[in-house]
Chains A and B, each alone.
Chain A
Amino acid sequence: MTRLYSFRVWIISACLLMTFSFTGCWDVEEINRRNTANSLFLDQGQNNPVKLGISIEVPGSLLPAYNGTEQLFQKRNYIISGEGRGLLDAWKVLQTNTARSIYFGQIGAVILSDKFAKVGLTDLLDFLGRWVEIPGNTYILVTCSDPEQLLDLKLRNNFLPGNYIQTYYESPSRKSLAIPIRLWQIFTIVANRTSDIFMPLIEPSQGQYKIAGLALFSRERMVGTLDVEETEALALVKEVQNGYLTVPLGRTGDNRLVAFYNIKSNSKIQPVLSSSGQLQFIVKVLIAGSIQELQPRDVKITPAEIRRYQKAASLMVKKEITKVLTKLQKYNSDVVGFGGKLRIKYPRYWESIDWHQEFPKVGFKVETRFTSENTGVFR
């Protein structure tokens, strides 16, 4: 009996001693010992194809202010960058420029320069996809200005750039002006091949950032941009919940207008394949909104006037959407997802074609209907 229990004590002691080998030192690295990258930018280097840079917070600067400390007012971020032949090479150079190891697990946004985006994103996507740390819900944006200077700005509200972008998109009313896209969505679009990727355009403005439109991609290569109004029109097709619309009511120079707020749009896209093989998409967009501004002011809006405003808004939206779709075809960038609708309705036909060859040739028929729900506080 004693021998058996001695054996048991030895086994338990051996197991306990073994646990010391499981010290777990391998992955222990405290957050204050890491440089947590808040945002990342990619550009073409001067001497190398790739320039990779990150925006890091100044250590200790993100504490809430008390007793009037200065940290609230000092610049809270700085940039470090590195160049290389490839992305991993550039990343390696980046690591040598910092005292603490770089941690990408909390990245809020990735900014690409337009030059980099025009070369093609296939390599970037492979790198970002394989790298475990980068969260899938990171926002991706494109800038036509220098991304390093963009991220090095001391923003007026002294937010870190990644936090600024995340906060920007948390507001539901922004999505109609600046359609966000996240990393996982990019992977989805690229894998399914039923549409093309797009990215918001970000530019500096008044000491902050603004979203200046949309960058269009065709097969992972940037091919063009949409301005803010075109982006708004596109957003209507992609369905928004909180948009804006200003409709001029007279000729050019006449400053009569009606502006709508709380725009909600619902779109139905139906592909029609004729017997001769001609493909057409019927795009029906139903929009509802509330009157927010009327120039000149009218305190008693009649049903006839409402109908007039609705008709004007419908026509304007139809014109804008048609213009945008034409532009998309010109750039061969199906950011709306027409390919997906085609795949659903004509799966065999979809398998037999190359959508990128066919998209510029399809026809569109846009039908819009605008309803005005209420007139705000005034009648």
Chain B
Amino acid sequence: MLNEKTAIGPGLLFMLNFSAVYGYGFFLSMYFAAKYFGVNGIWGGILIFILMIPVLYIVTDLGHRFPGKSIIRYLPEITNAFPAKIIGFVYLVFLVLLTCWSLNIISRIFNLYLLPRTPFQVILGLILLIEFYITSKGIEGISRVTAFIFIFCLIFVLLFTVSSYQNFQLDNVLPIFDFTLKDLKNGKYFEGIIHLFNVGLPSAMLFMVYPYLSERRKGLKTLLVSSGLAVLLIEMVIISNIGIWGSKGVLQFDWPFMELGKQTNIPVILQTVGLFVLPIMLIQNLFAGSSFYFATAQGCSEFFGKYNYRIYRWFLLPIIFFTSVWTTNAVVIRSLFNYFVAFGFGVVFILPLFLWLIALMRPEKTAGSERGQSK
């Protein structure tokens, strides 16, 4: 029998990361780009990627300093035991909320556009059950199924991205750059940065998944390229949406209307893009949600100990479900989301930066751990 591998290669990590970033970050990116940056929102993708670079670097650097360990395991080596517990707990809470939010977005979209009479809880429950099933296959299984569909999804995403430029008006994206001091002073840009960083929040799961990477020397390149590709495709759609609807026009809508309202360039076969877009987005979101779910379960297993991630998956199932459905009021959820992105920015950007700086400043502890670790 060929040896079973529980590691994942750079190729699998590439596809997993791409699906996580694209499947989660796509949905609200054009709204935030238009809301906080107006026409300048067309630079939103570049801003997102610039913000993600340090996070990805920190993921890989801490992964090299503490080989084979996830963030839950190396936190006590960076800080003391008690702060490590607090930070670890906060991180896990964030992952739960991230999984809930990812579920919420896609369930809401399907509830609004395709299944309006089906109770929201049923749609969410179904999607959650499928994510639960995918998570049961472990990181190897999740990444394999992601990899299998990757090529097909990428082709359809490219097709839909390119065809989304029909009815593009150049005037709507001009002037190309219109920086205003007023918006800088009143904090609109800063708020926009935090909201745009929503696309980068899936990087949180990388802190749990990175130890599974078999070829660590290729880690940073893999993550940068996969995140870059996902952000590039999101950026192209941000540009096309602002180009078609204008920066104020984008603000009126929930995302899918924009895509359902546009025509593809193959009008005979399909009247709307919906048939391609919604299943592909659902699939990408499923993989994103599964990877978050796995990261949460694995994190709980390492944090609390005693059981495998498979058991924690069961404990998390009702927690995630009830957290996701405790309110179905769209207006309440939209306002809560502002707090969530701020929390996410803190957990995914500020906190790892802080930990990394401490790890840099305490080389004796981190070097010792590296020496003591087997490959």
State the A residues within 8 Å of B (CB).
15, 22, 24, 26-27, 129, 132, 135-137, 182-185, 187-188, 191-194, 337, 340-341, 344-345, 347
Complex CA gap A132/B111 in Å reads: 11
Task: Check A188–B171 contact: CB distance below 8 A.
Answer: no
Q: With A135-B261, A194-B246 given, is the CB distance from A27 to B118 under 8 Å?
A: yes
Tell whether B178 is near chain A: CB-to-CB under 8 Å.
yes
Q: With A136-B261, A137-B261, A344-B175 given, is the CB distance from A192 to B249 under 8 Å?
A: yes
Complex CA gap A135/B248 in Å reads: 20
Task: Check B249–A136 contact: CB distance below 8 A.
Answer: no
Which one of A183, A191, A337 lies within 8 Å of B171 (CB-CB)?
Answer: A337
Give chain B residues whose Cβ lies under 8 Å from the Cβ of A344.
171, 174-175
Closest 6 A/B residue pairs (Cβ): A136-B261, A192-B246, A188-B249, A184-B261, A26-B117, A191-B249
Task: Check B260–A192 contact: CB distance below 8 A.
Answer: no
CB distance from B247 to the nearest CB of A (A): 8
Give chain A residues whose Cβ lies under 8 Å from the Cβ of B372.
none
Task: Check A137–B251 contact: CB distance below 8 A.
Answer: no
Task: Check A22–B260 contact: CB distance below 8 A.
Answer: no
Give chain A residues whose Cβ lies under 8 Å from the Cβ of B260.
135-136
Complex CA gap A26/B126 in Å reads: 15
Q: With A27-B115, A27-B117, A194-B246 given, is the CB distance from A22 to B122 under 8 Å?
A: yes
List 26 A-B pairs, Cβ < 8 Å: A26-B118, A26-B119, A27-B117, A27-B118, A132-B116, A136-B257, A136-B260, A136-B262, A183-B261, A184-B245, A187-B245, A187-B252, A187-B253, A188-B244, A188-B246, A188-B249, A191-B245, A191-B249, A191-B252, A192-B172, A192-B248, A192-B249, A194-B246, A340-B171, A344-B174, A347-B175
Name A125's closest neighbour in chain B (CB-CB).
B252
CB distance from A106 to the nearest CB of B (A): 9
Complex CA gap A345/B175 in Å reads: 7
Give chain B residues whose Cβ lies under 8 Å from the Cβ of A136.
257, 260-262
Complex CA gap A129/B261 in Å reads: 11
Q: With A27-B115, A27-B117, A191-B251 given, is the CB distance from A22 to B126 under 8 Å?
A: yes
CB distance from A110 to the nearest CB of B (A): 14
Give chain B residues whose Cβ lies under 8 Å from the Cβ of A22.
122, 125-126
Which one of A27, A129, A182 lies within 8 Å of B252 (CB-CB)?
Answer: A129
Give chain A residues whose Cβ lies under 8 Å from the Cβ of B253.
187
Complex CA gap A193/B252 in Å reads: 13
State the B residues within 8 Å of A (CB).
112-119, 122, 125-126, 129, 167, 171-172, 174-175, 178, 244-249, 251-253, 257, 260-263, 271-272
Q: With A26-B118, A187-B249, A187-B252 given, is the CB distance from A132 to B272 under 8 Å?
A: no
Name A106's closest neighbour in chain B (CB-CB).
B271
Task: Check A135–B113 contact: CB distance below 8 A.
Answer: no
Task: Check B171–A132 contact: CB distance below 8 A.
Answer: no
Name B117's closest neighbour in chain A (CB-CB).
A26
Give chain A residues whose Cβ lies under 8 Å from the Cβ of B114.
27
Complex CA gap A135/B267 in Å reads: 14
Complex CA gap A129/B247 in Å reads: 17
Which one of A135, A183, A188 lies within 8 Å of B245 (CB-CB)?
Answer: A188
Give chain A residues whose Cβ lies under 8 Å from the Cβ of B119.
26
Give chain A residues whose Cβ lies under 8 Å from the Cβ of B118.
24, 26-27
Give chain B residues whose Cβ lies under 8 Å from the Cβ of A193.
248
Give chain A residues whose Cβ lies under 8 Å from the Cβ of B113.
132
Complex CA gap A344/B171 in Å reads: 7
Which one of B248, B261, B262, B272 lies within 8 Å of A191 (CB-CB)?
Answer: B248
Complex CA gap A129/B249 in Å reads: 12
Complex CA gap A82/B303 in Å reads: 63
Complex CA gap A357/B289 in Å reads: 51
Give chain B residues whose Cβ lies under 8 Å from the Cβ of A192.
172, 245-249
CB distance from A358 to the nearest CB of B (A): 18
CB distance from A240 to the nearest CB of B (A): 15
Q: Which of A129, A135, A184, A341 has the most CB of B within 10 A?
A: A184
Give chain B residues whose Cβ lies under 8 Å from the Cβ of A187.
245, 249, 252-253
Give chain B residues whose Cβ lies under 8 Å from the Cβ of A337.
171
Give chain A residues whose Cβ lies under 8 Å from the Cβ of B245.
184, 187-188, 191-192
Give chain A residues whose Cβ lies under 8 Å from the Cβ of B115.
26-27
CB distance from B148 to the nearest CB of A (A): 25
Complex CA gap A129/B257 in Å reads: 10
CB distance from B177 to the nearest CB of A (A): 11
Q: With A26-B117, A129-B252 given, is the CB distance from A347 to B178 under 8 Å?
A: yes
CB distance from B117 to the nearest CB of A (A): 4
Task: Check A184–B171 contact: CB distance below 8 A.
Answer: no
Complex CA gap A188/B249 in Å reads: 5
Give chain A residues whose Cβ lies under 8 Å from the Cβ of B167.
185
CB distance from A278 to the nearest CB of B (A): 22
CB distance from B265 to the nearest CB of A (A): 13
Task: Check B262–A137 contact: CB distance below 8 A.
Answer: yes
Complex CA gap A341/B171 in Å reads: 7
CB distance from B245 to the nearest CB of A (A): 5
Give chain A residues whose Cβ lies under 8 Å from the Cβ of B171.
337, 340-341, 344
Name A182's closest neighbour in chain B (CB-CB).
B261
Task: Check B126–A191 contact: CB distance below 8 A.
Answer: no
Complex CA gap A27/B110 in Å reads: 12
Q: With A22-B122, A340-B171 given, is the CB distance from A191 to B246 under 8 Å?
A: yes
CB distance from A117 to the nearest CB of B (A): 21
Complex CA gap A313/B317 in Å reads: 73
